[in-house]
Copies of this chain bind each other. A is one copy, B any other.
Amino acid sequence: MEASVLLDAAQTVFAQHGVEGSSLRAIARAAGCDPALIYYHFEHKEAMFQALLERKFSALLPDLESAVAGPRPLKERLAETLRVFARHLKDDAGFRALIRGQAVQGAEPIKTTLAAFLRRLQGLIWNLLEEGVASGELRRDLPVPLAGFFLVRTYLEMLDLFPAMGPHFLPMPVPEALERGEQAWIDFFWRGASAPEESR
């Protein structure tokens, strides 16, 4: 049995119960094997979670690099960046909640893995925003690191919370809210970030 089958099972169980709420026996049951096999492939549960993170991010980053590249208008590339997140993470709210839970209080090795990914992600976003500032499309005083944070984190919050909580507080069906929310956020972000007309 390949490690990836175990990781598939782990992702399902982790997403539902969290890392600490998931037992290796539960993961083995989900994978259809003996718990001891997990120890053959991974040192311990946390190493398994780490491998999951790396698998997920390894799939995401190339698409991000494609999204920010090329001659298309800046706003469109920013929007495409968000859509890459949606494609990779949209159906993984439970897992994403887990990742940020680990970001807040996880073990140092996990934080280190997340940080390495964050720096690469940051680099892509910041370069894009700095390119916009240099070209005059974005305002000169835009705090690029913070703006990058706003761009991505607000959008990911929608992806996470609309499906789970949207029915309780959104005045429209969740799929419509996600679609309108995406466009609204891109427009809103653009208004917040773009240079005033008179300075172009």
Binding site for B on A (CB under 8 A): 15-21, 93-94, 96-98, 100-101, 103-105, 111-112, 114-115, 118-119, 122, 143, 145-147, 149-150, 153-154, 157-158, 160-161, 164-165, 168-171, 177, 180-181, 184-185, 188-189, 191-193
Residues from chain B with Cβ under 8 Å of A169 in the complex = 115, 118-119, 122, 145
Residues from chain B with Cβ under 8 Å of A17 in the complex = 20
Question: Is B111's CB under 8 angstroms from A104's CB?
Answer: no
Name which residue of chain B comes closest to A147, CB basis: B188
- The one of B105, B114, B146 that contacts A15, using a Cβ cutoff of 8 Å: B105
Residues from chain B with Cβ under 8 Å of A150 in the complex = 154, 185, 188
- Shortest Cβ-Cβ A-B pairs, 4 listed: A20-B21, A115-B168, A192-B192, A97-B104
